[in-house]
Amino acid sequence: MYRYDSYDQSIVDARVEEFRDQVQRRLSGQLTEDQFKPLRLMNGLYLQLHAYMLRVAIPYGTLSGRQMRKLGEIARKYDKGYGHFTTRTNLQYNWIKLADAPDILAELATVEMHAIQTSGNCIRNISSDQYAGVAADEVTDPRPWAELLRQWSTFHPEFTYLPRKFKICVIAAEEDRAAMRLHDIGLKLVSRDGKIGAEVYAGGGMGRTPMVAPLINDFVPEDEIVSYLEACLRVYNRYGRRDNKYKARIKILVHELGVEEYKRQVEEEYAHMRILGLNPPTEELDRIRPFFAGPAYESGLSDEIDRTDPAFALWADRQVAAHRQPGYAIVNISLKPRGGIPGDASAEQIELAADLAERYSFDELRVTHAQNLVLPHVKKADLYAIWQKLDEAGLAEANLDLITDIIACPGLDYCSLANARSIPLAQKLSERFGTAERQADLGELKIKISGCINACGHHHAGHIGVLGVDRKGVENFQLSLGGSGAEDASLGQITGPGFSEDGVVDAIEKVTDIYLTQREEGERFLDTYRRIGMKPFKEAIYG
């Protein structure tokens, strides 16, 4: 876990005081809402349908028990006793009073947390692989680079008023658990001749024009990543479209210029910038790296798991992933209880996760872009005790990557941009498909729901995607099939005319029925879809 030094702390503390000053000016009437809006939006504070929403950054999805406990405490003290984990691995509070916001930031600062750049047209929270540091298939732990980029992007003076928001992801494994190629810039760390560098992908994203990011550079040496990104961002800042917010993301620039031309412009810019000494020295990465060194694992532990309790065995088979250290496991905690709200957690659940992290996982937790939690370093011998505690707290759902492990945005229940409600639909789907047998039979199947075209619910990347639209004042849901946010990234195709809320649940059931009758041995839903195409599904839905 990275720990702040006095420099990091002083920057976050200064931000708290700056925001306190801005809120004070707003409350006293010196600032109008129009003048205040750009200021609060630089700090994750949105005015939603019913109240202010505050989005707290969880850099690269990693946090300690102490930080997690603070999030629970804030939920209880300043919100209605819960929080919502987002697809950017952040946490949102939905019922915040403006006058409390500075105090909340001050409390966050005591545990080295903040809400800096969780909104606005700037570089947002850097995301990474939730299995970073414990996955067997990674070249290196990507988080030291993510932390380096967190610092570099914090209050970057040139890139604070970009054409649009900018999302960066860093991974270092073959399996892409973080939807890297659906980011404005995705970095995949690779090893070449014993040296670490990054494959750079630029121009991915969702929204109304989804794109899978193309590769623009196959090896940027690790000590040049910062300056190379400066060149990528500068080209975007200068030439990205500002006339239409729906065409302002970097994906449109890359698409309109063409990959080769964008790449050429970046290279030209880079020729100017690489000699300016913009990169931190390698000693800085060397300073950061030990914070992420693996904990003091015990050796000689047994890999045996006592499976006599069938409910535990079911959970363990689904929620526990292989750890690279013998005797240890990765535990996925589902925030998708049957009929529940995806990504929501009560203050008590957040605090339980904090307790479990401290007691069983070397004081470390992760948040995933699929809106779940991870205990990254758990002894296999402790799995049963953990499961019992999770079960008591309603957190022992065994549905990782199954049909009820739904990603959903907050939708029209909270969000002022939404056209349709995502949450009730997610709940209905979860009820319809939620028996253990049915989910297990359907296997890996990722449903992702967005309540509007902005695609915060990643519907383009859903094996089954649902987009809520407004059709003459009535909520309507478009269905798409075949998307993926993983290493085989692809964009879903729309099936045809949309449905009512109940209608789309029925349509999804027809889709899964086709899969069950057509699948071949070992095929996931996505594999069957890719083999047989849209036609049979379409016939079943509309025929």
Partner 1 sequence: MVEFLSFRDGEAAQEPAVTVESFTGQSNSTAVRIEAGEDARELLPYLDRLSLVEVNFPAYGDGRGYSAARILREAGYVGELRAVGDVLVDQLSAMRRCGFDSFRPDKALDDAAVERALNRYADVYQKTVDGRSPVWAKRHPEKING
Residues that bind partner 1 (CB under 8 A): 5, 7-8, 10-11, 14, 17-18, 21-22, 38-39, 121, 151-152, 154-162, 234, 237-238, 242, 272-273, 276-278, 280-281, 283-284, 287
Smallest gap, in angstroms, from Cβ of residue 471 to partner 1?
Answer: 32
Vertex 486 angle, CA 481 and 491, to 5°: 35
Torsion of CA 140, 205, 496, 507, to 10 degrees: 40
Q: Toward partner 1, which CB reaches closer, 38 or 497?
A: 38
Smallest gap, in angstroms, from Cβ of residue 11 to partner 1?
Answer: 6
Whole-number Å distance between alpha carbons of 430 and 335: 12
User: Within 13 Å of residue 170, how many CA atoms lie on the same side as its CB?
Assistant: 27
Would you list the DSSP string of 132-191?
TTT-TTBSS-SHHHHHHHHHHHTT-SSSSS-SS-B-EEEE-BSS-SS-GGGSSEEEEEEE
Smallest gap, in angstroms, from Cβ of residue 7 to partner 1?
Answer: 4
Smallest gap, in angstroms, from Cβ of residue 156 to partner 1?
Answer: 6
Burial class (CB in 10 A: 0-12, 13-18, 19+), 239: middle
Q: Toward partner 1, which CB reaches closer, 123 or 541?
A: 123
Smallest gap, in angstroms, from Cβ of residue 249 to partner 1?
Answer: 15
Q: Toward partner 1, which CB reaches closer, 167 or 463?
A: 167
**One-letter identity of residue 297:** Y
Whole-number Å distance between alpha carbons of 63 and 85: 13
Q: Toward partner 1, which CB reaches closer, 128 or 237?
A: 237
Q: Toward partner 1, which CB reaches closer, 4 or 95?
A: 4
- CB-CB neighbours of 456 under 10 Å: 24
| CB-CB contact of 496 with 541 (8 Å) | yes
Q: Toward partner 1, which CB reaches closer, 18 or 413?
A: 18
Please name the helix (run of DSSP H) or strand (run of DSSP E) that holds residue 108, with its range, or none. helix 101-110
Smallest gap, in angstroms, from Cβ of residue 284 to partner 1?
Answer: 5
Smallest gap, in angstroms, from Cβ of residue 416 to partner 1?
Answer: 19
Which two tokens mark 318? 């689904």
Whole-number Å distance between alpha carbons of 486 and 187: 14
Q: Which of 463, 543, 448, 457 is nearest to 496 (CA)?
A: 543
Smallest gap, in angstroms, from Cβ of residue 202 to partner 1?
Answer: 17
Q: Toward partner 1, which CB reaches closer, 130 or 237?
A: 237
Smallest gap, in angstroms, from Cβ of residue 110 to partner 1?
Answer: 19
Q: Toward partner 1, which CB reaches closer, 233 or 356?
A: 233
Q: Could you give phi then psi for residue 70, rounded to 5 degrees?
A: -65, -40
Q: Toward partner 1, which CB reaches closer, 87 or 227?
A: 227
Smallest gap, in angstroms, from Cβ of residue 18 to partner 1?
Answer: 5
Strand pairing category for 344-346 and 127-128: unpaired
Q: Toward partner 1, which CB reaches closer, 27 or 516?
A: 27
Which two tokens mark 220? 């940027």
